[in-house]
């Protein structure tokens, strides 16, 4: 590995993780010391980076009546939700459990919650009505009827939007594309007008908005603009029908770069905001946005220690103490995460599969990845792991979930203890 290649590999772009000499830091805190203090696997997040991303979005949409409703499913840590609530964010939830998280992190923020999801249960709807959330994003005709029944039973009025399916294609992984007619999400936009007319006659319902969400990890602004354009037309038709539609939920899905490709977050946000603002100009709506990944993904990393290095014929394997139960994105989505040592040692490059100890061939973080040669005991970071890392983690192989640490202003604090075997087994009955 020559000097220019080394320098290129050590340039981590717009992430908050950067080398200070040979050691990796975040917000001025040495990651080796965190791994030694709290053990591995360990999720580490930069609160400073989260704040920066939220502020980027808030500046880009300045002058537009809007609310950022952070997608809780991306990372539901109570400490992160509290941080976001304090910045004035709302929240996009998809379950009653996520509503309870918002309640515990910032009870006042419940009034800025939108409730999405294709299969809401009666108890979840009841809890959201009692909490006084901002709006329900309804995804089926059956849900319209259920929402009316629950609102009537509780003597409440439910503000609602239909999540319409605009049939707009977005270039992303098929598992996280949601805007086409073959997907389970939303209601065909051609059916929406009739469903709104029916909903307006039902007790306990107030049709107040229209919602759209076409997928996740989308880096081109054109699909967002096209989907919002189709929603604008629907809003104008619904207003002509006499409905007071005043919210437009443009969804989330704004992506990042997981690899080394050049990525300027401010430039991306500016283009994204300009495209949406142009389409909604003069419409007079309160814009709701549901960012998740853009805010938290690059703010987080998963730290892990190399257990062993083995050679099987021509194939080299680096085995870490983190596994697919800690970070499933590579196995589930074939996702790329940059993998870097916490301490540069000037070794030659190696090509290896970087894998975990779980009893699955799908338990890998990278195939044939070139890194500085790694040895047993070395610490490495899997970058861009803040979104859909901890929130998708599991106890597969009866492995406890990782600890989590939040770094802010040069100081680190534990925000989740490492899960013990006793805690994993506590709910089971012999």
Among 151, 158, 164, 247, CA closest to 208: 247
Return the residue matching tokens 């500016």.
270
Is there a binding annotation on residue 255?
A: no
Is there a binding annotation on residue 293?
A: yes
Is there a binding annotation on residue 292?
A: yes
Task: Say if residue 178 is exposed, middle or buried (CB neighbours under 10 Å; 0-12, 13-18, 19+).
Answer: buried
Among 294, 154, 164, 306, CA closest to 235: 164
Residues taking part in catalysis: 359
Tokens for 240, please give them.
């002509």
Q: How far apart are CA 246 and CA 86, in angstroms?
A: 25
Q: How far apart are CA 26 and CA 31, in angstroms?
A: 7
Is there a binding annotation on residue 329?
A: yes
* CA dihedral angle for residue 97, residue 82, residue 386, residue 13, rounded to 10 degrees: 160
Is there a binding annotation on residue 377?
A: no
Is there a binding annotation on residue 360?
A: yes
Is there a binding annotation on residue 19?
A: no
Q: How far apart are CA 348 and CA 5, in angstroms?
A: 11
Quickly count: other Cβ atoms within 10 Å of residue 6's Cβ: 14
Is there a binding annotation on residue 375?
A: no
Which residues are annotated as part of the binding site? Answer: 253, 290-293, 329, 333, 360, 388
Which residues are annotated as part of the binding site for pyridoxal 5'-phosphate? Answer: 253, 290-293, 388
Which residues are annotated as part of the binding site for substrate? Answer: 293, 329, 333, 360, 388
């Amino acid at each position: 590995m020559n000097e220019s290649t080394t320098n290129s590999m050590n340039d981590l772009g717009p992430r908050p993780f950067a080398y200070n000499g040979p050691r990796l830091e975040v917000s001025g805190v040495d990651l080796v010391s965190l791994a030694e203090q709290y053990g591995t696997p360990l999720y580490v997040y930069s609160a400073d980076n989260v704040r920066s991303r939220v502020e980027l979005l808030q500046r880009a949409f300045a002058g537009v009546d809007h609310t950022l409703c952070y997608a809780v499913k991306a990372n539901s840590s109570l400490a992160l939700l509290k941080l976001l609530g304090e910045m004035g964010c709302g929240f996009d939830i998809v379950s009653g459990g996520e509503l309870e998280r918002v309640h515990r992190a910032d009870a006042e923020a419940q009034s800025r919650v939108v409730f999405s999801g294709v299969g809401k249960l009666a108890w979840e709807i009841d809890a959201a009505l009692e909490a006084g959330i901002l709006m329900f994003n309804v995804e089926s005709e059956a849900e319209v009827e259920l929402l009316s029944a629950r609102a009537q039973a509780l003597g409440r009025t439910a503000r609602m939007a239909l999540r319409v399916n605009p049939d707009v294609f977005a270039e992303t992984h098929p598992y996280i594309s949601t805007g086409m007619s073959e997907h389970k999400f939303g209601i065909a936009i051609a059916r929406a007008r009739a469903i709104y007319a029916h909903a307006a006659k039902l007790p306990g319902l107030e049709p107040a908005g229209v919602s759209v969400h076409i997928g996740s990890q989308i880096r081109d602004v054109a699909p967002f603009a096209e989907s919002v354009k189709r929603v604008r037309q629907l809003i104008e038709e619904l207003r002509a029908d006499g409905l007071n539609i005043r919210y437009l939920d443009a969804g989330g899905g704004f992506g990042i770069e997981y690899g080394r490709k050049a990525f300027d977050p401010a430039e991306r946000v500016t283009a994204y905001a300009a495209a949406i603002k142009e389409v909604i100009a003069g419409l007079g709506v309160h814009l709701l946005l549901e960012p998740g990944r853009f805010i938290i993904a690059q703010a987080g990393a998963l730290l892990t220690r190399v257990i062993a290095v083995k050679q099987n014929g021509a194939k080299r394997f680096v085995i870490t103490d983190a596994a697919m139960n800690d970070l499933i994105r590579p196995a589930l989505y074939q996702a790329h995460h940059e993998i870097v040592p916490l301490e540069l040692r000037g070794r030659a490059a190696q090509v290896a599969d970087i894998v975990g100890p779980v009893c699955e061939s799908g338990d890998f973080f990278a195939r044939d990845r070139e890194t500085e040669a790694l040895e047993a005991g070395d610490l490495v970071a899997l970058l861009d792991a803040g979104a859909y890392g901890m929130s998708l983690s599991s106890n597969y192989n009866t492995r406890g979930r990782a600890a989590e640490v939040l770094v802010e202003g040069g100081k680190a604090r534990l925000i989740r203890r490492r899960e013990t075997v006793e805690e994993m087994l506590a709910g089971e009955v012999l």
